[in-house]
Structure 1
Amino acid sequence: MKKLSIQVGDDTTVSAILQAPDDPRACYVFAHGAGAGMEHAFMTAVANGLAERRIATLRYQFPYMERGSKRPDTPPVAHAAVRAAVACAARELGPLMLLAGGKSFGARMTSQAQAIEPLPLVAGLVFLGFPLHPAGTPSISRAEHLSKVQIPMLFVQGTQDKLADLDKLRPVVAGLGARATLMTIEHADHSFHVPKRSGRDDEAVLKDVLDGVARWAFE
């Protein structure tokens, strides 16, 4: 692992962690969710698991998380951080295929940035729990920008995710055509936790998630 500092604008820097296996085939620029930063256990587990599957990761903080604030950045600030992180990954890992996306808030900010202006060298987006709507108020308003994304997208969603009603999400993904793929994880919630009664544990679920991401990336 390599710790980095990424310049975001003239007066803001954020921390990042580059984690790469010896022989990577791709790099995932991996943004965190709204409530936990890049060193959260889920972020670390994903980075470790992807390294085993020959996918490097660049995890990074959004500016608000770097400051220790609980209030997420405005979209323009978050989009600037996404772009700076993608540029950093390109500098560090050169010709590797780049993927971008993240967990929840990080997924949405990355997709919005891509919709506004394509992220240089990014070949596809991977969303780990796309937050389609606030809990308890199913809608598709947060998906309107996705029609402007013209690169492949992978949506990895738990079937019990309260921020993505599958009856709402499935038509959204279908409407995006061949460039969008939906991978559902049975019994998993927004954090990819599963109840004991499912007969599985979080480790098994994460393996399925990461195997699916690797298949999609290299197919």
Structure 2
Amino acid sequence: MSEFSFLATPEKGNVDAILLRPKKAIALLVLAHGAGADLHHRHMTALAEAFYEKNIATLRFNFPYMQQGKPRTDTPAICIETFTNAIGTARQKIKGVPLFIGGHSFGGRMSSHYIAETRDKRVTGLIFCSFPLHNPKKPETKRAEHLYDLETPMLFLSGTRDPMGDPSLIKPTIKKIMHARLHRLDTADHSYKILKRTRKSKEDVYAEAARVAASWITELNEHNRGK
């Protein structure tokens, strides 16, 4: 594990980051946190460690507002610039493996806005851990409208109890996206908390998410090598 900081934006200054690099990495994932918890939160740590076990390197980082202890999230423009510099930093640290970006909830959504804004062809795919399709009490799909014309492949890892991913909305929404796949994590909520008594699988929910992501990444890598 390597801890360091990088310049998020000239205006906002430096932010903290952590790199987890397995010896035989199959991919590099730039992983952003959700709206209310930083890169050190146990959920983000569990995600990064699970990906590490599946040979997926991760660079997770703070957005400036979180680094500064502010309650309000940064603007999309600030988040996009931060993603730009996080990706640049990640690429300096690890070269020669396919690049993916994503994150939990808000962080994943901002990664999609980065792609919508930049159309960065270096990014092989997007990985959304609990994509926040809508507010819990306001089911709608406006947050996904910018995804429909994106060519970048996407993987949605969403819990069956996620109040921000109504099954009646998220499934048809994903069908409208060119290259998207949905995996539903049984009994998991927005933070991947599960119901042990009713969950059908004995597999750890983070291990399941990482396994599915690794399989999808391998599939994409093989497809891209065959082009």
Q: Tell me what 1:218 maps to.
A: 218
Shift of 1:42: 1.1
Tell me, in whole angstroms, the C-alpha distance in 2 between the residues paired with 1:212 and 1:199. 17
Tell me, in whole angstroms, the C-alpha distance in 2 between the residues paired with 1:80 and 1:164. 27
Checking the alignment, whether the CA contact within 8 Å between 1:193 and 1:202 is kept in structure 2 is no
- Give per-residue Cα distances to partners, 1:96-153, cap 9 Å, x unaligned: 1111000000000010110111235110000000000111110000001102321100
Q: Tell me what 1:8 maps to.
A: 8
Structure 1 residues 15-164: aligned runs within 5 Å: 15-119=16-120, 121-164=122-165
| Secondary structure, aligned partner of 2:9 | coil
| Aligned residue pair count | 218
Shift of 1:201: 8.6
Which consecutive residues of structure 1, in runs of 5 or more, have no partner in the other structure? none
| Secondary structure, aligned partner of 1:8 | strand
Moved over 6 A (4+): 200-203
Matching of residue 205 in structure 1 with residue 205 in structure 2: yes
Identical amino acids, percent of aligned pairs: 38
Amino acid at match of 1:207: A
- Give per-residue Cα distances to partners, 1:157-199, cap 9 Å, x unaligned: 111110111111111111113x100111121111111123314
Which consecutive residues of structure 2, in runs of 5 or more, have no partner in the other structure? 220-227
Q: TM-score, normalised by structure 2?
A: 0.92
Checking the alignment, whether the CA contact within 8 Å between 1:161 and 1:190 is kept in structure 2 is yes
Checking the alignment, whether the CA contact within 8 Å between 1:192 and 1:202 is kept in structure 2 is no
Specify whether residues 59 and 203 from structure 1 end up closer, same or farther in structure 2 by C-alpha distance, changes over 3 A only: farther
Amino acid at match of 2:46: A
Shift of 1:83: 1.2
Checking the alignment, whether the CA contact within 8 Å between 2:29 and 2:56 is kept in structure 1 is yes
Checking the alignment, whether the CA contact within 8 Å between 2:51 and 2:57 is kept in structure 1 is yes
Tell me, in whole angstroms, the C-alpha distance in 2 between the residues paired with 1:169 and 1:140. 8
Checking the alignment, whether the CA contact within 8 Å between 1:2 and 1:19 is kept in structure 2 is yes
